[in-house]
Structure 1
Amino acid sequence: MRIELGADEPPEIGLIALIDCIFFLLMFFMIATSFKQPEAEQQMELPVVLPAAQMSLDRASAAPAALAIGVDKEGKLYLDGKNVTVQQLHDRLKAQAAADPARPIRIDGDEMARYQDIVHVLDLCQFEGFTRIAMHTRQ
């Protein structure tokens, strides 16, 4: 004996629910990828916030191969992105002065760094005979 369950209807795909799921996934991936930052760039940066200058000259060719010395807000020194002691900085400056005394020096001092720490780096540079010393600022 056969039981009649009603008219056979072809199965349908609910497009509205499918579109909602697609938009939900799209929004999820857009938000999830907007917070991701490349880790390689974060490691290369110095922990220095540069002070702003009122009038800074934009000269790309002013110091093409400048030796970058960084001073953070705690007074720690960085030479080309690597943490160094005062003695290591002094030894490196002495070696650079022997090789090329006309090499430009760029000091990246944090805006919250003590003035005395910046002056100490300037004294080291001048003691070794460097005359092309610049202070790096943000524009």
Structure 2
Amino acid sequence: MAGGAQDPDEEMISGINVTPLVDITLVLLIIFMVTATYIVRETIEVDLPRAASGGETVGTTLNLVLDKEGKLYVDGAEATADAARDAVRAAVAKDPDSRAIISADKSVSHGQVVELIDLVKTQGLTKFAINIEKDAASEATP
């Protein structure tokens, strides 16, 4: 028969098959998981000291890291003190409101950290922060 007439023995489809949707979703999830490992930036392993309070910074930042051997890294690349001075000077010239985040392993001497702070301040960068790892015990207390 023509038009919308149906055979009385045929059943109307009343369910939706979600199997293809689940298959596509799982494939996309696997692709995301595999590519996410390549997106993650390599970091320098530093055992940060813990503190109860910590703030976040915004704007142009220069990351300075002292690892447990006392090696200095500027934005992830190993550098000498002179190279760090040049990087700080260039950051201040580019943006006068730039900031520095200083991370130091807790086994590094206080004197080395003070020398790094002095290096940053003598090059004209007065806004800096000491990077810490937030203490989990203090987060539980109100």
Is TM > 0.5 for Structure 1 vs Structure 2? yes
- Write the deviation string for residues 21-57 of structure 1: whole angstroms up to 9, x where unpaired: xxxxxxxxxxxxxxxxx6885x811131111112223
Tell me by how many angstroms 1:64 deviates.
Answer: 3.7
Percentage of identical aligned residues: 29
Aligned residue pairs total 98
Which one of 33, 44, 60 corresponds to residue 46 of structure 1? Answer: 44
Contiguous gaps of at least 5 residues in structure 2: 1-36, 135-142
- Write the deviation string for residues 67-117 of structure 1: whole angstroms up to 9, x where unpaired: 110011121100111111111111111222222221011001111111111
User: Is 1:111 the counterpart of 2:71 in the alignment?
Assistant: no
In terms of Rg, which structure is larger?
A: 1
Which one of 52, 55, 59 corresponds to residue 53 of structure 2? Answer: 55
TM-score, with normalisation over the residues of structure 1?
Answer: 0.63
TM-score, with normalisation over the residues of structure 2?
Answer: 0.62
Structure 1: which 4+ aligned runs deviate by more than 6 Å? none
Contiguous gaps of at least 5 residues in structure 1: 1-37
In structure 2, what is the Cα distance between the partners aligned to 1:132 and 1:48? 22
In structure 2, what is the Cα distance between the partners aligned to 1:48 and 1:110? 5
Aligned to 1:80: 75
Which one of 90, 93, 98 corresponds to residue 98 of structure 1? Answer: 93
Is the 2:60–2:97 Cα contact (8 Å) retained in structure 1?
Answer: no
In structure 1, what is the Cα distance between the partners aligned to 2:104 and 2:121? 17
